Chain A
């Protein structure tokens, strides 16, 4: 049983560009959350998707957007990249949050903005 998978593993972009990161949840999970982890810090909640809708959002600007597909996979899009967007982007999947809070993380995508 595959766990949470993310692609790509690493990505290098320049300021002002746009990036799309992808996540496939653990089998049986239908809720996907995205987190940003800066170097040496704990993960920060970006947003959460359930039933193809954004259900919750953290303190991130509108440059950060997402999507969830009917097969529960998800994308994170970041527009107009800034140097400060350099971080490890983590995807976590779970059963419907109302049933169970356990979130399982993928390996992350390391984004470097030059």
Chain B
């Protein structure tokens, strides 16, 4: 089955700096890669996703890149703000008949943005 590794486990950045989180996946059949933000006491919130037919996607201060050959994808947050502090999870999902929508999550990255 799919295995997703995520690093770093913790990331401290100064407000205004950029943050980068990296993930690798094992199953070449995976074709959907969402990123979730989870604040304390809340469920994961989908912030951006990318599909295997796209190499990069941006949404304001957030961008995701995908390298299918190397099987890794990354989340980039620019101009970080204190409200970006949270745990971020990457996930991967294969598109096979018996595995649609079965998200495999990484272990998470605790991001702390200090003013």
Contacts and interface: CB of A to CB of B under 8 A. Distances in A.
B106 A97 contact: no
A31 B62 CA distance: 28
A24 interface: no
B115 interface: no
Interface size band for B: 20 to 34
Contact of A44 (B44, B99, B105): B105
Interface string B15-40: 00000000000000000101010000
B101 A101 contact: yes
The 6 closest A-B pairs by CB, nearest first: A42-B105, A97-B101, A105-B43, A97-B100, A101-B32, A107-B43
B43 A56 contact: no
Interface in A1-34: 4, 31, 33
Interface in A71-86: none
Interface of A: 4, 31, 33, 35, 40-45, 48, 55-56, 58, 90, 92, 94, 97-98, 101-108
Contact of B103 (A31, A40, A98, A103): A103
Contacts of B43: 4, 90, 105-108
B99 A103 contact: no
B46 interface: yes
Contact of A102 (B34, B100, B105, B108): B34
Interface in B89-111: 89, 91, 93, 95, 98-108
